[in-house]
Amino acid sequence: MSIIDRYIIKKFLGTYFFMLGIIMMFAMVFDISEKLSEFIRNKAPITGIIFDYYVNFILYYGNLFSSMIIFLSVIWFTAKMAKDTEIVPILFSGKPVFRLYKPYLISATVLMLLSLALNHFIVPAANKNRLDFENEYYRNALVVEDYYAEYPSNMYVYFSNYVEYDHRVHNFMIQQFDDQQRIKYFLKARYAKNTPGTNNWVLEDYYEKTFEFPLGKINYGFRKDTTFTFHMEEMAQRQNIAETMTYSELTSMIEREDKKGSDLVPFYEIELHQRTSYPFAAYVLTIIGVAVSSEKRRGGIGVNIAIGLLFVFIYIFSMKMMTVASVNLGVPVLLAVWVPNMLFLCFAILLYARSQK
């Protein structure tokens, strides 16, 4: 590795971590201004705010916007190198243009691998601590209304509403059918309560009927202890629960929710694929950043930064647009997540080819 390689890698990583620190500091200031009053009102402990919430806050959002920060870092220090006429000797040294890109790609590889490791192994656990703290000291109680889902063995479950602080399901109903779609079991209860983390349930003011030939059986009463194949945590959960799951946990939940016909499946699939697509964007945005900012422009660094911010806006907008298309229009999730990267990759290749001329 040559001196210029070490010089650019040092500049790249140094600028990246400096900008990451600055951006996260501003993000924390805005977040504190929004949530501090709620934390104080709910008597959140100071150590919890710092270590359970904001340390994990930095891990999550710093990693989430890592590719964007990489891009802005490349724009910033490369434009400064171009302004100080440090790029020209490299381009006119007689070596191929790729020689300039090599240290950038090495640095992008290091940061991409770090982001992949964080996405798949570290951030889910950090998010669990952060969201648990947020749910306890900031968020409103979880409310689920008009829940309906299909479970294995032709079982259909419905309830009218559930409020987290009450821990009770209202107007709970189960219908189960045989292979010929003939009803064989029916249950209705005014209230139902699940013991957290188990399949144990308590029914209140219930009525149940089994349809057995030649006569069915009817049973009713005020209270009944029973078990089901499901529990409350999988029926009432926030959309961002996917952020707390490892790869295997997330794929298992997607499979389970897909069988129930849940509307949240696209959100979970997007979360799964974005954990890989976002780090990959570091390569694409690095190439674009070098191609855009390695030229000396009138107006100095400010023009290059403005161009970089425009690219960031277009990239984020395209990601959000494809996400909405996947959720609302049925666009395949894999296509929705990777199309922006592929389009920007084509643009990066065009810019790289132009820089060779």
* Domain end marker among 236, 252, 285: 236
Assess if residue 241 is contained within a domain.
Answer: no
pLDDT for residue 301: 66
The pTM score is: 0.78
pLDDT for residue 234: 77
CB atoms within 10 A of CB 228: 15
pLDDT for residue 165: 74
Q: Identify any residues that bridge with 221 across adjacent strands, giving them in sequence order.
A: 206
Assess if residue 246 is contained within a domain.
Answer: no
pLDDT for residue 331: 83
Count of helices and strands (H, E) across the chain: 12, 6
Which positions of the chain have pLDDT values less than 50? none
pLDDT for residue 357: 55
Assess if residue 290 is contained within a domain.
Answer: yes
For residue 133, what are the domain limits?
3-138+264-356
My answer on whether 216 and 272 are in the same domain is no
pLDDT for residue 299: 59
Helical axes 3-41 vs 98-117, angle rounded to 10°: 30
Spatial separation of the C-alpha atoms in residues 134 and 126, rounded to whole Å: 12
Q: Beta-strand (E) ranges in the chain? A: 143-151, 155-163, 168-177, 183-194, 200-210, 217-227
My answer on whether 117 and 194 are in the same domain is no
My answer on whether 160 and 192 are in the same domain is yes
pLDDT in tens, 190-206: 999 998 878 899 999 99
pLDDT for residue 19: 93
My answer on whether 285 and 310 are in the same domain is yes
Helical axes 265-293 vs 247-260, angle rounded to 10°: 130
pLDDT for residue 48: 92
pLDDT for residue 91: 66
Please count the structural domains in the chain. 2
Assess if residue 252 is contained within a domain.
Answer: no
My answer on whether 167 and 229 are in the same domain is yes
My answer on whether 12 and 126 are in the same domain is yes
pLDDT for residue 58: 94
Assess if residue 243 is contained within a domain.
Answer: no
* Domain end marker among 236, 256, 286: 236
In what order do the strands lie in the sheet containing 217-227? 143-151, 155-163, 168-177, 183-194, 200-210, 217-227
pLDDT for residue 193: 92
Assess if residue 259 is contained within a domain.
Answer: no
My answer on whether 350 and 273 are in the same domain is yes
Q: Is 275 helix (H, G, I), strand (E, B) or coil?
A: helix
